[in-house]
Every structure is written in structure tokens, then in C-alpha cells.
Amino acid sequence: MGLSRVAVVASAQTELRPSWSGAQHIDLISAVVTSVFKGTGLTLDDVDFVIDSGSDVLDGRSISNCGFLGALGAHHKEEARVEEDGLFSALYGVNKIRSGASNVGLIVAYSKPSESRVDAYWSAMVEPFYQRPVGFSQAAALGIQAQRYLASSGRSQKDLADVVARRWAAAAEHGDVAIDDLPNSEAVLASADVATPLKQLMMARPLDGAVAVLIAREDIARRATHAPVFVTGMGTSMDRHAFASREGGKLASAEAAASMAYKKAGWGGGEADVAEVSGASVVGEALAIDALGLCEGKTAINLSGGALPADTIMATGLIRLAQASRQLSMPAVYGIPAPSRAVVHGAGGIAMQSNCVFTLEV
Amino acid sequence: MANINKGGRHVGIVGVGQTHHSRRRTDVSQAGLVREAVDRALADARMTMDDIDTVVIATGPVLFAAVNQPEKWVADAIGAQLKPVVRVTSGGGAGFAGGLAGYYQVAGGFADRTLVVAYDKLSEGALQYSISTLYDPFWGREFAVGIMGFSAAYWRARMEPLGHTEEAAAMVAVKNLKNAMANPYAHVKREVTVEDVLASKPLCWPIKLMDVPPISDGAAAVVLCSEHVAHRYSDRPAWIRGISYCCEADNAAERSLLLSEPLAIAAKNVYRAAGITNPRRQFDVAEVQEPYTCFELNYYESLGLCPPGGAAELIASGATQVTGDIPVNPSGGCLGANPIGAAGLIRLIEGATQVMGRSENTQIKDAKLALVQSGGGWANLRGCAVLGA
């Protein structure tokens, strides 16, 4: 008997807001953990393990998962904390079920950046001896990345602003994202300079939120939902930390992650019907789209709006998985005809040093 | 829940390496420390980084050493660029949790050769301050500081009902420190007597100075392989016959202070997977992570090496000495060296080298089956594994 097949059974997500000021972490987490079982016939008792993504630094708390175990539904179960984008937690969970050791797993990711200093989260990630003291940071890295991209791609700042406006419009329609004023291209270009040529609205916007994804072995998934979404390929890769040593003008680690996932799936980005792609900036997203071999127009990319209007930091990639799974299982909601293949992408680190790619099929 | 039962792949440890642990390593950064352990594990497995499919990095809480997501930095120092790298963390049990994550990468078919490296460089941060932030910011930090206070309360709760006396715990210190004398990687090397321990300075009664492990800088690494390729790298791999790591939610009013429920659950999972029905008789050796001597007594009972209330008698009988029938911590355990985030992986290494027949400490004769225990959090994250040659 070979390794088990694993499917996404259901997902649940809070609204993504600039500040969930009336809710604590445990409130956001328990909201998604309690609602993810709706309609599946499964309960918390059926769950063998919980794997979660959150950040001690953003939470201001050591081993913060320890404080959230009850809300996570993990009591007396196996639990693991992957301190990385939530898609990496999903990868761990899929492996656990594929091994035959477990049947049903709950993957949870959350962030509450409104309670933290996001710039400190990033600067604490930079190498401490040579780079941190000179102020090298996420914004600086993304700015340099964007300058190179504009110089080599032939695209203009206005083109980037158009993409941002489209993403925000999509998020307002399908992303469950709190948006007061929908920016158009002019508003994007008129927003504050952050790291030339990137404007404020060209950076991923940190939001509070949580997401839970229920995964299960094939036979259980088929009983729990009429539309199980199978994970058919997974890949990850981490580039060099030293930004100057990375190959410019591309995301080599996203390419390597995609290649690993596509090899297992037996198909590539050009054959995807839908894709959910992360991006630390509009240029980061464009580089990821290139690295994944996706072509906008041929593949419906980021129907949820993606990470630019709604970056829940540790949860962003897992939200991409939840959104892409919904697009495959409930395409009518998104107004797309019978998609069968999806590509999902998550990223972490300074200027997207680390990348994770899933292929999904129905 | 614990091990392969339906088509998964068997996983073996084929290479191990650890640093010479010490109070303060000023000659290397975190990245350099990691590199030392990785070089040793790769050499032991007759591999280079080119052979490695995936890397798992584990550390204690990042507030310990003030670098957020440090795997992204240290990965450069081990030549892991463009490989799959992920970090898991689980407080004191992080090293064991890293081993578990690596185990599932191989068992689930994601990789054939996985490098797991765990470390902490505790000299670079304010340890007890960082641990104090573990408690709830609204209602927990007002009265809970560091990790020693509640550990003392736990021990106190076990004293009368279970007989976990100060003398019994002192015997654990005497045994482990004596064993550490033979461990080339331990950084505390001194023999003490029960009287020395009992007379040592009270820190948070009943915990006294000699009940407490040192604070160490150190790293440890293992190479895990699937059954398909393991024979290429080791003549005698240590097979993971069962591994599980469970938790107990915080502030559960019903939480038992006597038996460790998550450890008992993990042991049940693992013993079922490995066919263990009489742990005391079947295991040849055990390695446990004892962040205070009192915990080793608790593990004896939670792991079923003796009945509840039997721990004091077990330590006093000499059965857990290297010359006894169930030696516990022939490496010296955490009392010999305690780089917290690495400690759980060090326990796996010490258990593995015993069943591989090449322990660098006191080799237990003909050891074939080892029990390994680890844990973290506020004693609410607990796991164990069975290793066999």
C-alpha cells in the first residue's frame, strides 16, 4: 500500500481587518476552529493533530502557541508550531497524514499585527551583525527588488498601480477583507513613498485575522464533503539570507519550490485554472507569478485579492490555500467555469526568502 | 497516531553530531554553532549537504537570542540555500519537535534524507525574562515569573501523595552529574553527594541550586533517512519505532499535578506502535529531558517505568544507574548540558547511539531498545520515542 492521498475538507476564515481591537488572539483562533467543522459531519474529536503558524515576536510572547492550545482545539492531541507562513504548517500536516500515522488534521494560522510593531518584526529577522545595524530591512530589500524589476521588465510604476487597484477590488468582492476606501490606480500612485519606487499601497497591508483548514485522508474527505480538494504536489525552498547574494530580478526559491511541486503533480503553472499567490509587495507578487510559471489571463490569479490588500503575515499562505480550495469546490461563487487545477503560494522572510507551493486538484 | 501503520515509510537515524556544550561560546555566532553540529552529523552519515533533501531547524523561543526566524540566517552558514528549510519550535521540547517534523517529512514521502538541527545560544539573551513572557499578558504575568516557580509548585504537590522527596530528587542529581563525567560533550563535570544537593542554596523551595541544570550554548544535528536509502549511510541505523508529542491546554482546572497526562498519552501511542507492554523490562536504556531533578521522578511514573508513587524507590534501588536494569540518562541528561532548544534532539542522539552500539558515554551493553523523552512549555508539552537497532 502506498502513501495516503490527502484532501482539504473545509476551511474557515475571520474577516481580515486592520485591527480586531475587540478580540484577543484566542477569540480569533476559536472563531475559526469552531466553524471549520460546519457541514462536514466531523468534530474536534475526530482531529488527530493540530499544527499552527503564529509568531512569538508578533504576539509578544514566548512559545505563544502554549497559551492558545485550548482555542486551537489541541488539548491532549499532538500539536506542532511551525513559526513560518501557514502554508508550511499545511505541508507538515499533509506529510503526517500521508505517512499513515494520522487521519484528520487541523491547520491553523493567525496574526494580530495591530498589537505589534511590524517593522520590528522584520528588522529582528535581519542578520544581526552586519545588516541590522545599518538599517537594512524589509522595506529596503523590497525597494531594491522593485527597482531592478522595473529596470528589467519594461513595466512602469503605473502598471504596478493598476495591479494593486485590481487586487483591492477583488478583495472587496471575494476576500472577506475590511476595506473602507477602494483605491484606484491614481490613489495608489498618490500614496506615500515607502521604498522607491514602491508606494505605501504597493506594499502588502498588514491585517489581523485567523484561518483554519481541515485536511483528511481521502476516504474520510470523500465522506465529509462532496467536493474534496486533493493536494497533489508540494514544494518549498529557501534562498540565501544575504540579499546581495541572491540572483537578482527573480525569485529563485519560488522557482525551485514550484518545480518540486509541479514534478510531483505532473503538470505546471501554465496548466493551472486558478492560482492564489502571496507577495510582500506588488513586485514581489509579480516575481512570484513569473517564478510559478503563471500567465495572468490564462490562469485566474488572486480572485481573493491576494496578499497586497490583506497580509495576515503568518496566515497569508494558508488563507491562499483556503481561498484556492473554495474556488475549486465552489466555482460558481467566484463566477468561474469548472476549474480543476489550482496553484497556491506562500512566502516568508526578507524579500520573500522562503517560498512554498502547493498544487491542488478536484 | 505514533507510527507508520498504513503504507508510510520507516525512518532511521543514520548520522548524529553535537557541539561541546558550554556556558558561553564567544568564538562562534548562532550560525557558527549550528555549522559545527551539522558538519559532525553529515560526516557521521558520510554525506555532504548536497546529499540532503530537506532541512528542519529547531530552536527554543526566538526571544531567547533576539533573532526572529533565525533559520533564515543560519541556513546560509550550512549551505542550505535553495533547499526546503523550515523551523519548528516548541519551547524546551523544540529539538524533539524538530526530530518529529523531520520524521514525518521522511515517513510521508516528502524527502529521503532530512537533516534536523536544533540549537540554542542562551548566553545571548535574558533567559528567565524571555520565559516569563510565556504567561498570559492579562492575567498570568502578574504572579508567574520564569519557569522555576510553577515547577516548584508541581514538585511540592507531588511530595506527599507520590513521595517525590528532596532526597529522591537529590539522587537524580547525583546520578546524572556522575554520568556526565563520562560524556565528552557535557559542560558540567563534577561529582556531588546527596548531602551536597540538599545543602545547596534554595532557589525556589523545594528546588535548590543543584536540582537545576546549567544554562548552555550548544547545537545538535541528526540525519534521518527512509528505509530505502538508510543502508547507504549507516551499517546500523537507529530506527524510530514510534514517536509522539502531545499537549495539554493551559489553565485546565482539571489538570493533574501528579501524572503528566500528555506524556502518558504520548507513551500510550508510542508503546502501541512499538509493541511495548512492559517498559521497565523491554527497554535497555532511557534518555529523558529533566529541566530540574524532580521532573525525572515524574517521568519514571508517567512513562510506566514504575507505578505512580514508585519513583523514589526506583531511584533509590539503583535500577536507573548505568549499572542498573533500566539506566536513565547515561549521558548525564540536562544536568550535564542544557542548550534548551537542542536538549530534546540531544536525547534522541544519546538514545540512538546507544542502540547503534557506539555511545560516546557509558555504552549500555547490548542495548537494543531505547526510550527517549522530551518536553517543554509549562510542563504541558510532552513526548517520547522508541528507538531500536
Nearest residue to A257 (alpha-carbon basis) of A286, A283, A230, A291:
A291
Inter-CA distances, B254 with A33, A301, B232, Å: 22, 49, 50
- Which positions ≥6 away from A194 have C-beta within 8 Å? A139, A143, A200, A202, A203
**CA atoms B156, B162, B163, B166: torsion sign:** negative
What phi and psi, each to the nearest 5 degrees, are found at residue A289? -60, -45
Residue B253 is predicted with a pLDDT of: 59
Which three three-digit cell numbers place residue A5? 492521498
3-state secondary structure string across B347-369: HHHHHHHHHCCCCCCCCCCCCCE
> Which CATH number applies to A6-117+206-224?
3.40.47.10
Q: How far is residue B326's CA from residue B337's CA, in Å, rounded to a whole number?
A: 22
Q: Quick check: B244 and A78 in contact, CB under 8 A?
A: yes
Q: Between chains, do B68 and A57 touch, taking CB under 8 Å as contact?
A: yes
Interface test with A, best of B1, B71, B110 (most A CBs within 10 A): B110
Low-confidence ranges of chain A (pLDDT < 70): 1
Q: How far is residue B312's CA from residue B34's CA, in Å, rounded to a whole number?
A: 38
CB atoms within 10 A of CB B150: 17
CA distance A157 to chain B (A): 30
In the three-class reduction of DSSP (H, G, I as helix; E, B as strand; rest coil), residue A323 is classed as: helix
Q: How far is residue A305's CA from residue A298's CA, in Å, rounded to a whole number?
A: 17
CA distance A337 to chain B (A): 33
Q: What ipTM score was computed for the predicted complex, to two decimals?
A: 0.97
Q: Quick check: A212 and A345 in contact, CB under 8 A?
A: no
Hey, which residues does B92 pair with through a beta bridge? B90
Q: Between chains, do A236 and B85 touch, taking CB under 8 Å as contact?
A: yes
Q: How far is residue B251's CA from residue B150's CA, in Å, rounded to a whole number?
A: 12
Q: Between chains, do A83 and B82 touch, taking CB under 8 Å as contact?
A: no
Kindly report which listed range (A333-337, B114-118, B161-165, B312-316) carries the lowest average pLDDT score. A333-337
Global pTM reads 0.97
Burial, A148: exposed, middle or buried (Cβ in 10 Å; 0-12, 13-18, 19+)?
middle
Residue B7 is predicted with a pLDDT of: 60
User: Which residue type sits at B96?
Assistant: F
Got the DSSP string for A277-300? ---SBHHHHHHHHHHTT--BTTBE
pLDDT score of B198 more than 60 = yes
Residue B150 is predicted with a pLDDT of: 83
CB pairs under 8 A between A and B: 208
Domains and CATH numbers, chain B: 11-127+215-232 (3.40.47.10)
Residue B251 is predicted with a pLDDT of: 64
Q: How much is the average pLDDT of B31-47?
A: 98
Burial, B254: exposed, middle or buried (Cβ in 10 Å; 0-12, 13-18, 19+)?
exposed
**CA atoms B117, B123, B124, B129: torsion sign:** positive
Domain ranges of chain A: 6-117+206-224, 127-201, 231-361
* DSSP β-ladder status, A78-82 and B85-89: antiparallel
CA distance B144 to chain A (A): 14
Pick the CATH number of A231-361 from 2.60.40.10, 3.40.830.10, 3.40.47.10, 3.40.50.11290: 3.40.47.10
Q: Quick check: A79 and A50 in contact, CB under 8 A?
A: yes
Residue B27 is predicted with a pLDDT of: 96
Strands (DSSP E) contained in A200-319 are 209-217, 229-238, 274-276, 300-301
Interface test with A, best of B68, B71, B133, B135 (most A CBs within 10 A): B68
Q: Looking at beta carbons, which residues of chain A come within 8 Å of B2?
A: 101
pLDDT score of B2 more than 50 = no
Q: How far is residue B207's CA from residue B211's CA, in Å, rounded to a whole number?
A: 6
Residue B5 is predicted with a pLDDT of: 45
Span B135-167, pLDDT tens digits: 888 877 776 778 888 899 899 999 999 999 999
- Can you say how many angstroms the Cα of residue B292 is from the centroid of all Cα atoms in its chain? 13
Q: How far is residue B147's CA from residue B254's CA, in Å, rounded to a whole number?
A: 21
Chain A residue with CA closest to B83: the answer is A237
Q: Between chains, do B104 and A76 touch, taking CB under 8 Å as contact?
A: no
In the three-class reduction of DSSP (H, G, I as helix; E, B as strand; rest coil), residue B141 is classed as: coil
Q: Looking at beta carbons, which residues of chain B come within 8 Å of A63?
A: 61, 89-91, 134, 376-377
Burial, A347: exposed, middle or buried (Cβ in 10 Å; 0-12, 13-18, 19+)?
buried
Residue-averaged pLDDT of chain B? 94
Nearest residue to B146 (alpha-carbon basis) of B62, B64, B251, B260:
B64
Q: How far is residue B31's CA from residue A73's CA, in Å, rounded to a whole number?
A: 35
Q: How much is the average pLDDT of B228-241?
A: 97
Got the DSSP string for B154-204? HHHHHHHHH---HHHHHHHHHHHHHHHTT-TT-S------HHHHHHSPEEE
Q: Between chains, do A62 and B100 touch, taking CB under 8 Å as contact?
A: no
Chain A residue with CA closest to B138: the answer is A24
User: Which residue type sits at A148?
Assistant: R
Which value, to the nearest 10 degrees, does the dihedral of the CA atoms of residues A284, A285, A290, A291 take? 70
B377: pLDDT confidence band, cut at 50, 70 and 90? Answer: confident
User: Which residue type sits at A25?
Assistant: H
- Helix-strand-coil split of chain B, %, nearest 5: 40, 20, 40
Which three three-digit cell numbers place residue B70? 533565525
CA distance B26 to chain A (A): 14
pLDDT score of B313 more than 80 = yes
The answer to whether A6-117+206-224 and A231-361 have equal CATH topology is yes
Count of helix runs (H) and strand runs (E) in chain A:
13, 12
Residue B250 is predicted with a pLDDT of: 65
Instruction: Work out the angle between the directed axes of helices B293-302 and B148-162 (0-180°, nearest 10).
Output: 50
Inter-CA distances, A327 with A32, A270, B225, Å: 19, 18, 37
Q: How far is residue A273's CA from residue B28's CA, in Å, rounded to a whole number?
A: 49
